[in-house]
Each structure stands twice: as C-alpha cells, then as structure tokens.
Chains A and B, each alone.
Chain A
C-alpha cells in the first residue's frame, strides 16, 4: 500500500519536473526554430526614417499601457514593461534593411515565459502599423 503511493508520487513528480528545462535550455531558448520565431517577431516597413519608426514604436507601446524602460536612437532599441496583474516585458529593435525599408523586431516575455505564439506579435504590429500609417510587410 505505502510502496504504491510512493511509486505513484515519484512518477508524478518526475512527470511534473519533466516539463521543466535545464539552465542551458532556458538560456538559449533553442527548442523552437530560430527562423520561425524570427519571422513571427519581425516586420518590414517602407520607410528609411529610423527616428520616426522608433518614436512610433514608443507611442504604440504607450497606447498598449507599457511604461518605457529604455530607448536608444543610435542602436535603435526600445524596451517597455506592462503591469496589469502580470508583468509583460517587451524589447523592440529597429534597423535598416536595404535602402528602402526599416526592419522592426519585437520580442516579449510574459512573467517568466517567453512569448512564442504568433498572435500577440500580430496584434502588436497591427497597432504599430496604425501609428506608422504604413503597412507591415512579412519578412522571409
């Protein structure tokens, strides 16, 4: 009787812990295809104005209730945090692609998990293209 409970408990614990990852896996977050994730997180806009793009990113993040944490024009990066019972952190980078487009890449972290679903990023870019008055193009 007692042994069966111990066995069940051990198996359950192993199952539960099996869902958790090693430090290396957490640090590299490499289980998902890098390419697929990058595609989800990146859009191209038909503009060469880096400053305008970054200012639109900042305005969009503020509209989405983020508080801006950091911003740098030279590197082209903006970070913000949204608190709403949860903590959502987001970093957006902007850099030129060719001589006609700017690439915008966003990555987000919800509490302690990376956001890898396409939907939240689609929503973010939908809000951004409204503020940019430009269409967000997919990047292959």
Chain B
C-alpha cells in the first residue's frame, strides 16, 4: 500500500461483493436478451476480474459462456504528457470482433469518467458495436465528463481526499472494498 493512506471503513466484505456481482449479472441478462452477441470487456486492471466474475455468474444462471476481453486504455489516456515517464502498457485482447455486439465495459470504480472515455475511444477503433453499456462495482461520484453507468454495484459518496480500494482474489489476494484516507494516521 502507498504511504500515507489509512483505512477508514470497509464498505463491502467478500460475501457482500459476491451478492452484488450476482445482482449485476442478473441485471445485465435482463437487459440484454441476445446473449450470443454479448461481450464483456474488462478495463485493466481491476475491471478484468470484475468482468470475469460477472461472466461466471451469467454462465451459472443461463448456461451461456460470455466472452471476456481485456482493454488496456493506456495508449488512449488524455493525461500522458503530464504524468511523467510513460506508464507500462500491458496490452489489449478482444476475443472476437465487436461489430454488431453489445459490449459491456466493466471497471471497478467509476470516478471522473476519463477512463471510460478512453475505453470508448479504443473500442471504436476496433469496430462498430451495436451498443456499449457500462458496469461498475462502485460509483464514487465527482464526474468530470458526462458519463453514467448502466449497472452499478453500489453508489458511495466520497471526498476527494479519499481513495476507494477494491480488492479481488486474483489481483490482490482478498475480496473486499475499503475506503482509505490520504494523510498520516494519528
């Protein structure tokens, strides 16, 4: 963990996370009747385990395997010249053509909306999807662009000084969501 970040609260534990993801999967199925033309695209890094978890739930519910893609939006970021040395690019992998598909973008936290904007730009370079929907585990507010999620796990109002930390088993060894505070502990 980075310095100067102190845990404040645990918003979701593993059980609560699993329940929410199950609910989101249900909502996605409800809205998208045409499952064979559905694609989940996880935005690196933690949008990926979210997309995989949702796909697993859909398979459990409907017996249908939904393809999961990985989007690395680094090359589409709008802040590259200011962050410092170029960030590491880990690569994009889409398992099938997205033309005429419904693509559900998955990300762990929706905040300013810039990541999603970059992901939309990247998707458009791959083809012409029938529709793009957005599924996020946590919506923490503070939007800087006109972007809204179609499927939200939990809305959590936050202060700018706070950080939402989402952990998945595959990436972090635990399943939970916590709020962390910037600044030294007492």
Q: Does chain A bind chain B?
A: no
Residues of A in contact with B (beta carbons under 8 Å apart): none
